[in-house]
């Protein structure tokens, strides 16, 4: 919260293993997700350390990212 009050934006990228198992569903609740009650304005990554490391379920905030779109996003980032 202190960062936001001082004009900074906040984001979390990668693994978020702080979300309780009973809240890891794409249906919510999202109050323990990084953008819900976790204190971040933006989240891009996967929830839970037990996710498949080769084909993880990626989320852009609380929205699941389709694997095809993920590949396009990675390729786009590599082209920059």
The vertex-12 CA angle with 21 and 59, nearest 5°, equals: 55
What local confidence, expressed as pLDDT, does residue 25 receive? 78
Please give the average pLDDT of every successive group of 10 residues along the chain, which has 80 residues: 80 86 81 83 86 82 78 72
pLDDT value of position 56: 81
Could you give the number of structural domains in the chain? 1
pTM of the model: 0.73
Domain that holds residue 30: 2-79
pLDDT for residue 60 = 87
Distance in angstroms (rounded) separating the CA atoms of residues 58 and 15: 9
pLDDT in the model for residue 1: 57
Cα separation, 66 vs 57, in Å, equals 8
With beta carbons less than 8 A apart as the criterion, state whether 20 and 49 touch. Answer: no
């Amino acid at each position: 919260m202190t960062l936001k009050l001082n004009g900074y934006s906040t984001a979390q990228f990668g693994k978020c293993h702080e979300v309780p198992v009973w809240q890891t569903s794409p249906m919510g609740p999202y109050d323990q997700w990084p953008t819900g009650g976790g204190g971040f304005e933006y989240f891009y990554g996967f929830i839970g350390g037990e996710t498949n490391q080769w084909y993880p379920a990626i989320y852009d905030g609380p929205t699941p990212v389709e694997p095809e779109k993920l590949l396009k996003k990675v390729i786009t980032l590599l082209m920059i």
